[in-house]
Structure 1
């Protein structure tokens, strides 16, 4: 597996800016803000309010006072999706910061998270690092679907090969907690290079590789936690807006989903007709889920036992995402540009 893990912080040698884009997040951003204010090392804290209508900006001012620099987002120009535009504005506002740390509103950092993540960036010699947060899953739908994120890249992605390979197609990243060397970010074109991409985090990692940079994933479960969605409707809509972009084409999506269904649903079902290979296939899926859960701070049992159901739900979400592509909005904005 060779999963990188953060070690202790190192003496500060770089200026760090923590960047938080917000749009209508008043209902859930407070824990994130309070965690940012408690960070060790006093990094620059910059928040961008991207046209919120629910009092998000007022909440930031009340909680952050003069310790958080609050920006008013500019109107969204043509050819841009909302999050890349917000992140580019934040990066521009960070001035001469050496390390940019992008976080999402649903992420709660521990006090030494940024210092330790920056130390891992420095030790590993990469230019873009994703210390993947521990995913908090509460409802049944979350517990069935959310663990597939870590399971998929721990099971199928050769992590160290991804770090060494210059191929842009071999890339993964997570925008919830993203640590970037500013020099490499600028060389790659920043978020302007991925202005029309709904999976701007993965596309930024690919742009980094095209610019000669290196990327890495790490276990960030001891540094951050994240509850991405709080209901099945929110989860289904969230995945539907972007899951289609995870695959190169509908044919590629069909091939991947078909393989997953064959391995983790169809083959295990053969145990009902006395085919013990099916039991082995089921055990393989469950074991993979247990290993990934224990490696990333997730819940292993009984959730892993429902792995075939999780794969079925994933297949449905992929189909739904393709069916809704071009018709989905997120917080009042389109999620796809033709």
Structure 2
């Protein structure tokens, strides 16, 4: 009886994310680019990005449909980042050395705030140094903002994953967004709790950015995407999230340790809180972690037939949801069978951060340490 009830809870939890994903995939579309005369400032904070920066800059300069300027903020790099940018030699490209990091700021927010002071554009398009834009991306995001009266438009680029460590961790970005954020409600209701953005690629109306304080208003935080969208909504502006797989490509990490460290850094301001994490553990564990083991026990004859059938239904819903999201976001199909393991790794990262938070007291990223006690 208990196992049957547990399997039934798994079905309900899997149905929740399946239903949200279906609703989201019906409305999550790539915006169409439209020619416009409004200048888009493409702003790239860079700290020791010699391996990525040339490709990122050249792709940004290849933007079509709108005039662009590209500004790279060299944040005290100790490699050849600045020399590579200077060597490209395009008149639309500028290198902006970032001043020393003031107390109370995190590095990326400080670099982005500095870049905004150098920009002349009607639109500010911030991208990470490992993001490769498609030629139409800037025009598409600006067109979406114009047509919808939106001050912040973000998208998740197509995530490139070449190693097993990446394939176990990176797909959780799109899975959590598409499987659990109700985007039709996000667009209809002004509630700040429904707002989020992907810091890898986010376009701002320059006037709204200045009015809200932009990155300066979230200076002490590590996860700018999570913090900025609610900030804009509290100030009365609209925000939006659109499909990004056709707009840009990103390779976030190249090893499992790097992915673990990166997602741990973001977890400090994400799911790893005493209130949120138990709920997320229940939702993800019941909906996506337990169904396959329960089904295996059932197939071995260790569960009642009704529990086995329920576990099979939950497994089908879970993997079907993951498959739909994976295909829609153009992620590797080989990651789909890894889904339960990915859920387990994601929860392990979050719990590790939460349990270590009091002892560590700081998050480390790009050679800098930041206090996280109140984040």
Q: TM-score range by the shorter chain?
A: over 0.9
The 5 A counterparts of 1:184-263 are 184-247=208-271, 249-263=273-287
Which protein shows a greater Rg? 2
Provide the residue aligned with 2:82 in structure 1: 57
Higher relative contact order (CA closer than 8 Å, sequence separation 6+)? 2
Gapped runs of 5+ residues in structure 2? Answer: 1-23, 299-307
Provide the residue aligned with 2:364 in structure 1: 329
Provide the residue aligned with 1:282 in structure 2: 315
Deviation at 1:147, TM superposition (A): 1.3
What TM-score does the superposition give when structure 2 sets the normalisation length? 0.85
Provide the residue aligned with 2:340 in structure 1: 308
CA distance in 1, matches of 2:255, 2:126: 25
Deviation at 1:13, TM superposition (A): 4.0
Deviation larger for 28-37 or 216-225: 28-37
User: What secondary structure sits across from 1:133 in the alignment?
Assistant: strand
CA distance in 1, matches of 2:371, 2:290: 33
Deviation at 1:132, TM superposition (A): 1.7
CA distance in 1, matches of 2:102, 2:355: 27
CA distance in 2, matches of 1:7, 1:28: 26
User: What secondary structure sits across from 2:242 in the alignment?
Assistant: strand
The 5 A counterparts of 1:94-173 are 94-95=119-120, 97-173=121-197
Deviation at 1:163, TM superposition (A): 2.1
Q: Is the 8 A contact 2:222 2:266 kept in 1?
A: yes
Q: Deviations over 1:24-67 (max 9, x none)?
A: 11122221112122222340111110111112111111124543
CA distance in 2, matches of 1:287, 1:55: 45
Gapped runs of 5+ residues in structure 1? Answer: none
CA distance in 2, matches of 1:330, 1:159: 31
Provide the residue aligned with 2:110 in structure 1: 85
Provide the residue aligned with 1:75 in structure 2: 100
The count of corresponding residues between Structure 1 and Structure 2 is 336
Alignment partner of 2:50 out of 23, 26, 41: 26
User: What secondary structure sits across from 1:294 in the alignment?
Assistant: helix
Deviation larger for 309-318 or 257-266: 257-266
What TM-score does the superposition give when structure 1 sets the normalisation length? 0.94
CA distance in 2, matches of 1:220, 1:335: 30
| Cα pair distance change 1:119/1:314, threshold 3 Å | same
Asked if 1:17 is matched to 2:41, the reply is yes
Deviation at 1:165, TM superposition (A): 2.0
Q: Is the 8 A contact 2:363 2:372 kept in 1?
A: no
User: What secondary structure sits across from 1:245 in the alignment?
Assistant: coil
